[in-house]
Amino acid sequence: MKVNIDPNSGFCFGVIKAVETAEEHLQRGHELLGLGEMVHNEAELERLENLGLKTVSIEQFPDLKGKAVLLRAHGEPPSTYRIAAENSVQLIDATCPIVKRLQEEMKKAWQSGKDQGVQMIIFGKPLHAEAIGLNGQVDNNGIIVENLDDLQTIDARRPAHLFSQTTMDAGKFEKIAEKLREMYTETGQNLIIHKSFCRQVSNRMKSIKEFAASVDVLFFVASKNSSNGKVLYQTAQSINERTFFISGIQDIDFQKIGIDWGKVETIGISGATSTPPWLMHEIARLIENAFDLT
């Protein structure tokens, strides 16, 4: 038996940049506060907290005058920058450049269409930090949709832009776009579709399928609140039914899984864009130890 780590898994470049920015500050011995969970991964968050990172909320800004607060890769609405300026909080902006570009594109589309009653449709998760940041660019007038049913609130007699939160599933986005195209063909109104999902995530859809097919058993490592973690796990599971979602080694019970491990030749480890590579390596090592493979 051997244990393989998916070479295309782990931190995306936006998260790498944010984590490196945090580490640079912490290594210089500076106090560092982070607005919201720095990454959607408990183990990585704990590692950063052990280095000195403290998580704060926007409500605490009035008590943080003169302090430095790091903004994570997901991006923030304009109100965060305003509240920081009002309270003399210094921001270290680690927003992913892809998210930043998307925010600017949405803002521009909103500014040029709002007087004509444009609808800004965002395919995303309403409570996700990135979706909140995107909605802020359109003065919180965005219509956040998660599925086809949510399109009932769209008025196809008014122009619209469709955007996607970067980590959403490209296939589901296409279904939403298709339905909207139908609705807008009927009215002849203007609909502009922006395929704004991140390639770092959509490329992984293809690679996770190949990786899942190449192993006998797959442990997919992510936090339950990782948006792309859920999508990638479901994709892997659709290819290899012996795919198991875990947050850490504590979630693996080899007996309970009910597999004849003697017949397993390859165990695969993969993860989301928020899963730290060190965690996947640690899990691989612990599995090797469990089966005495070292």
Q: What angle do CA 12, 268, 251 make, to 5 degrees?
A: 85
Neighbours of 184 (CB within 10 A): 20
Pick from 96, 138, 156, 287 the residue near ligand SF4 by CB under 6 A.
96
- Which pair of tokens denotes residue 92? 């270290």
Of 173-212, which residues contact ligand SF4 (CB under 6 A)? 198, 200-201
Helix (H, G, I), strand (E, B) or coil at 52: coil
Q: Binding ligand SF4 by CB under 6 A: which of 3, 15, 156, 287? A: 15
Toward ligand SF4, which CB reaches closer, 98 or 162? 98
Phi, psi (rounded to 5 degrees) for 65: -55, 130
Contacts of 250 (CB under 8 A, 6+ apart): none
Contact 161, 121 (CB under 8 A): yes
To which H or E segment does residue 162 belong? strand 160-164
* Nearest-approach distance from CB 162 to ligand SF4, in angstroms: 18
Looking at the Cβ atoms of 69 and 168, the one nearer to ligand SF4 is: 168
Q: How far is the CB of 88 from ligand SF4 (least distance, A)?
A: 28
182: Cβ contacts below 8 Å, ≥ 6 apart: none
Q: Which of 10, 14, 34, 133 binds ligand SF4 (CB under 6 A)?
A: 14
**Residue 24: enclosing H or E segment and its boundaries?**
helix 13-27
Distance between CA 201 and CA 244 in Å, rounded?
20
Query: Contact between 73 and ligand SF4 (CB under 6 A)?
Result: yes
When the beta carbons of 122 and 217 are compared against ligand SF4, the nearer one is: 122
CA gap 146, 99 in Å, rounded: 19
Among 252, 235, 243, 247, CA closest to 274: 247
Q: Of the listed 20, 42, 105, 130, which one is catalytic?
A: 130
**Residue number with CB closer to ligand SF4 (93 or 216):** 93
Q: Does residue 232 touch ligand SF4 according to CB under 6 A?
A: no
71 binds ligand SF4 (CB under 6 A): no
User: In this structure, which amino acid lies at residue 12?
Assistant: C
Sole window of 29-37, 51-59, 91-99, 111-119 interacting with ligand SF4 (rule: CB under 6 A): 91-99
Asked if 12 is part of the footprint of ligand SF4 (rule: CB under 6 A), the reply reads yes
Contacts (CB under 6 A) with ligand SF4, residues 16-45: none
Residues classed as catalytic: 130
Binding region for ligand SF4 (CB under 6 A): 12-15, 73, 96, 98-99, 166-167, 198, 200-201, 273
